[in-house]
Amino acid sequence: MSATVTESAQISEKPARRQPVALVFCCTILGAAAQVLMKTGANHMTGPGLLGMLTNLPLMAGYCLYGISTLLLVVALKDGELSLLYPVIALTYVWVTVLSFALFHDSFNPWKLLGIVFIVSGVAVLGKGGKR
Amino acid sequence: MKTPVSHMLLVLLAAFIGSFGGVFLKSGAGALRQGWIYLVVSREPPFFNWKLASGVALFLLSSYFFVLGIRPPGELSVLYPMISLGYIFTLLWARIFFKEPLTRMKFVGLFLIVLGVFFVGLGSK
């Protein structure tokens, strides 16, 4: 998977269709980081008030990352196909699963691993399909 | 714990709305070719990129219903696979609205991803 992305970054003569997949790839990493920050912010939430939310740094940082991630998605969609790029967003689940295991010590089990393997191979197939 | 049907419907609604969010983002994204400023404004009335704005609004709305749906007693193992139904809707809209070709690669990739999301949900009990 990562090989596909670096390749598209290197071959600048034919950026036509792989570049958008690489962009959505970055978009999912940012999206996952946003979710982790929002979870951290939610854990430190003192009350349900709006002021409490606005002064909650991790929460606000999470929202900002979400904004940037959406921006990347829009740039990707400018040249890429919706039917190809939208399912790639599922990569977010992979990063969130790994990050929440590493940071919040959420459970990790064979089902999650199997899920990750399937999602990554699905994205790899879509990445290859976009070549033609 | 059992997931109530109402929670399933909320997540399905979120997936449905989200898939339209993608359609609007895509149709608003084309304006970017004229320059970054067209992310927000537009040359024609109503002079702002309402398609892109609608896409963002639909994503926000979708995440609202999603959060409502995954509240307890909603179980992620049941609800996660329903989100990935949104990807299937999107394939349909992309075909209808943008005339995108539906290749075998897309079906295979999508099938693997839906299966993967299903398993991640299964592991999230």
Give per-residue burial for B15-51: e unless 16+ CB within 10 Å, then b: bbbbbbbbbbbbbbbebbeeeeebbeebeeeeeebeb
- Of the residues B23, B24, B25, B88, the best mutation for testing chain A's interface (the one with the most A CB atoms within 10 Å of its CB) is B25
Q: State the smallest CA–CA distance between residue B39 and chain A in angstroms.
A: 9
Q: Which of residues 45-84 of A touch B (CB under 8 A)?
A: 70-71, 73-75, 77-78, 81-84
Cα–Cα distances in angstroms (integers) from residue A69 to residues A29, A50, B54, B102, in the given order: 8, 24, 17, 26
Residue A6 confidence (pLDDT): 44
- Identify the pLDDT of residue B108: 93
Cα–Cα distance between B47 and A39 in angstroms, integer?
Answer: 37
Q: Do B110 and A122 touch (CB under 8 A)?
A: yes
- Tell me if A93 and B117 make a contact (CB, 8 A cut-off): yes
pLDDT band at A130 (very low <50, low <70, confident <90, very high): low
**What is the Cα Rg of chain B in Å?**
17
- Please give the pLDDT value at position A3: 45
Mean pLDDT (chain A, rounded): 81
Please check the confidence at residue A132 and state whether its pLDDT lies above 70. no
- Angle (CA) A80-A12-A86 rounded to 5° is 20
CB within 8 Å: A78 and B32:
yes
Residue A61 has pLDDT above 90, yes or no: yes
Contact A83 B90 (CB under 8 A): yes
Q: Say if residue A16's pLDDT is above 70.
A: no
**Which range has the top average pLDDT, A39-48, B50-59, B71-80?**
B50-59
| pLDDT above 60 (res B28) | yes
Contact criterion met (CB below 8 Å) for B60 and B5? no
Residue A10 to chain B, least CA–CA distance (Å): 23
Q: What is the mean pLDDT of residues B49-74?
A: 87
A12 falls in which pLDDT band (50, 70, 90)?
very low
**Does the beta-carbon distance from A122 to B115 stay under 8 Å?**
yes
Cβ of A83 and B26 within 8 Å? no
C-alpha span between A35 and A32 (Å, rounded) = 5
Q: What is the mean pLDDT of residues A33-56?
A: 81
Whole-angstrom Cα distance, residue A119 to residue A87? 9
Closest CA to B120 of A103, A99, A119, A27: A119
Query: pLDDT for A72-123, tens place per residue?
Result: 999 999 888 999 898 999 898 899 888 888 888 888 889 999 999 999 999 9
Cα(B81)–Cα(B102) distance, rounded to whole angstroms?
Answer: 22
pLDDT at A14 over 50: no
Whether residue A4 is predicted with pLDDT greater than 70 in this model: the reply is no
Bridge partners (DSSP) listed for residue B48: B41
How many other C-beta atoms lie within 10 A of the C-beta of residue A64? 13
Percent of chain A with pLDDT over 90: 33
Report the residue from A81, A82, A116 with minimal CB separation from B116: A116
| Confidence grade of residue A5 (pLDDT, cut at 50, 70, 90) | very low
Q: What is the pLDDT of residue B17?
A: 95
- CA distance linking residue B101 with residue B99, whole number of Å: 6
Cβ-defined contact of B116 to A93 (cutoff 8 Å): yes
CA atoms within 13 A on the CB side of A28: 23
Q: What is the pTM of this model?
A: 0.80
Q: How many CB pairs under 8 A join A and B?
A: 133
In sequence order, which residues have a C-beta less than 8 Å from that of residue B84 and are 6 or more positions away?
A: A90, B15, B113, B114, B117, B118
